[in-house]
Structure 1
C-alpha cells in the first residue's frame, strides 16, 4: 500500500484507480505492494500504521518506520567502567604554564574547574596544586553516553546515611539530657521540653524535626495507612486488591531484555518465566503459568474438560450450574475407567500371556547407577539423603544389655501396674533375659492361673488359705452366695459393734487405719463376720422417716 505522502495530490480518476487497486489487493486478485527491500506489505494494515510521518517518508511504500532500528551493539559499550574522579599520579609542586589558574591541574581550564574558587589561585600562590584527572574515552553508544551512574560508587551513599544517623543520635542524646535535668514529674512539662529541643536554639539543625513529633505523626497516620496489598477507597468503602505489594520488584524489571517473556501492562501479567536459564523452583518469579498449574488447579481443569466432553456427547453436565453433580460424575467416570483398564489388561494377559515381561528391573540396576545421594555413618545409619535420620536425644537410646532384645519399659503389667521388658516380661531392672521361658513362667505364676489350677473347696474350714484366695479373687459380693458364716463369731462381732456405737467412736476411721496397717503388712485379716456385723449395725440405725405418720 503506497502512502499518501508518496503519491502526492491525486486526481479523481487516479484516486478511483488507487481505491480499486487497494480493494483488489485485499481481495487477493492483485499482488501485494512491495517495500524497498522487496518484502510484501499486508494490504489489510490500516492507513495510520502504513503511512510514514513526514520526517521518515522516503517517497516509496515501506514499513521501516514501524520496525525497530538496528543499532550497532558493538559500539555501545555500556558495561565499560568509567573511573570517575580518578587522579593521574601525584600532584605537581609548582605551577605549570597552561594549567588551571584556580587549582593548578593541567586537564581543564579555570572556567571548567570544579574546585572551590580560591581568593588567590594556584597560579599566583603555587600552593595546594591538585593532581591531574584521568581522561577516559566515552564510547559513542546511545546508552553509554547517557549513563549517569557509570563510575558512581554506591559506598558514598552509605556514608551519607551514617552521617544522618550520627546527627539524629546526637540530637536524641541532647534531648534526653534536658529531660533528665528537669526536677518536675509533670508529664506535660517533660513533653514541652522535648518538643522545645528544636525551637529553643537556632544552632540546632532546623531541617530535622523532633523524633517525638515524628512518633506522633506516625501514630496519627497509622490509622489511615493502607494495608499491604490492598487499597481502601474512603468514599465508596470498597477494598480494591492490588496485584502486587509495592515493595516487591515488578515483573518487567526482573529481565530487561526486550526479547524476554511478554509482559501485559493492562493486567500486569507475565505468563512465561523471564529468566529461562534458572530452574523454576529456584527463581524469584517463574511466571504466572507456574503458579497457575500448581496446587488443585490441574484437578479443576480436568473436571472442566470432563464437563465439556460430557456436554458435547449430549449429557446434561455443567460445572458452574451444578458443580456437585459434575464432581460425582467425574469421580464415577474415573473409577469405571480404572476398572475397565484393569479388566482389559487382565483379559489381554490371559489370552496372549507375557505378564513376566511387565515386571522390569529397577532403574538403578538397568543403568548401573543412581543420582540419589545418601550419606551413612560408621554404624550404617542414614545421616543425609533420601531417608530422614531419626532425631537422637542427649540420653542413650536403643542400648540392649544382659541378652535383652527390647529396652526397659517396652512392656506394662496391668495386674501389678509395673513396667518391664517385652522380650521376657521381667519386671526387675537390669535383670538377665530368659526369653520365652520367662514369659511362660510369669504367666504360670499369676494368681488367676493358681486359682484355676488349684482345687478350691468353698465349704472348707473358716479362715483357711483356700477360702481366703477364693474370697480375694471371687467376683461375688462379700456375705452373699456360698460363703458360710460362723454364728458364734458373728454374735461376738455384733456385740463389739454395739459397744463401739455406744462409746461414740468413729468406726470408719478405725477400719480405715486398720486396713491401712493390714495392707502395709501384706495380709488381710478382716473377716466376713466383722463386715456382716458392720452392715447389720448400719441397717439398725435410726431412720428419720421410719416413725413418720401422715395425719392429713
Structure 2
C-alpha cells in the first residue's frame, strides 16, 4: 500500500485498517512491511523516522531516505591533481595549423600563451617551437577544490632551503677569507672587519638572520598579548579562558571537600580557599568576579529594562542599549528628586529637621580615642577599660546579711538553687552562716536515715559527726545519680539496721501466713511493696535473705521411675 503522503488523505475505513495492520505488525501476528529492495521494515520504528519527506517520497514504504547515499569518492581525493610541467612529447620541427602563433604549441592559443612575446612568432620563423603540454581533466571535489595547498610539491621547499644554505655558507666563507688576509694579529682589527662585514648591505631577496633579529623589536608592540587572540571576523580581542602560566582553578586546593569544579564549563563558583579574604586571594571564585566591578550596574540596568517592559514601555536592553542606559539614568535622577521632595514636604509638615543633623552612626558607635594597654594575663596596665554591659537586674547586691548572691549554690540532692554562704534554698531568707550549713546537712534525708535513738553525742564530737554526715551525704548523692541501680556494686551494710530489717521481714511473713506467690492478695503489705518510703540497702538484703531461707519445693523430690 502506498504511503499516506503519496495518495493523499485516507478514508475512515482505510485509516482503521491501516491502524489494525500496524498493531498486528507490532504484535507479531502480521508480517513486517518490505521496502523496495525486499528488506523488512521494523514496525516499532517511529513514524517521524519511517515516513519519508515529500521531496523524497516514492509512494512505497522505504528507509532509503535514512541511509547514507553511496557517492563516488574517486574525484574527491586530495592527491588527485595534474602533473605540473608534463610534456606530451618532443617539440615539432615545423609550425602546425591551429597552434600558438607565438611559441608554436598546440596546447593553447596566442592570447593564452605564457611565454615571452617574440618579435616574430613561430608561425613566421618556424624556429624554437615549444612542445605540447599534457592537458588533464582533473575532477576535484568540494574539499580538493578549496584546498590552497593542493598540487604543492614539498620537494620544492627543500630546493629553496638548499639555496639559502648555500648562500649563507658562501657568505661565511667570504668573511673567513677577509679575516685570514689581514696582516696584523690584533684582535681589535679582526673585530672591526667582522663588524664591517655585518654592516654591509645584503641582498634584498636573501636577508640574514641578524637582520631578522633586529626587526623583532620593531613589531614587538604589535604582537598579541599573552592569553589573547584576535578574532578575524569581529575584529575584537578575545581573551582565552586562562593564561597558561597561571595555576588552574582545580589545583589551588586539592581537598575533595573544597569548592566544586565543573570540568565541562571550567567554572568554580565558590572560593577554593575559604580562610583567605577574597581581596587577598589569587582566585576567589567565579561568583566574586561576577558581582564585582560593573557587573552589578549591568544587572540593575537589566532589571530596570524588564520592569519597564512589563509596564508597557518599549525598552529592550539588547535591542537598544543606549536608550535603556539613558532612561535608567533619567529614572534614577527623578527618583532622587522625588525622595528629596518627599523629605522636604514631611519635614515642613511635621518638623524635626534638627534631629537629622546629629553625628553619623559610624562616628557615634565607632572607634574612639581611648587607649587601653593590657598585660599577658589580661590585666589593664594603662588606660581605662571599656565598661561592660550590665543587666537591668541588681548585681552584686547582698541582702539579709548574706555574703553570696542568690543562685551561687546548687543542691544536687533536691535539685534547687540557694545561697553559697548558708546553703539556704529559701529566697530572701536570713543568712545563718556555718550553722545554717550544718542544719541543712543534718536535715538531709540520708542523715535522717542514719540517725538512731541513741543519746546525742557530746559537743566535742560535733565536728566529727558533721564530717561523717557530709561523707554519707556525698555517698548517697553518688548512689542516686550514678548509673548503678539499687542492690548493685559494692554496698556497705549497717549490721544493726540489717538485723532490724531481718526481724521485720520475719514478722511480716508470720502475719501473712502464705507464700510470696499470694502476697498480692493480702491487705497487709510490707514497706518494701507499698513504696511508702525509700527502700534501703539493708531492707533489700533482708528480703533477699528471706527468699533464700524459703524451702525449695524440688529439694525432697524423688523420681519413682528410677
Which TM-score applies when normalising by structure 1? 0.28
Give the number of the structure whose alpha-carbon radius of gyration is greater: 2
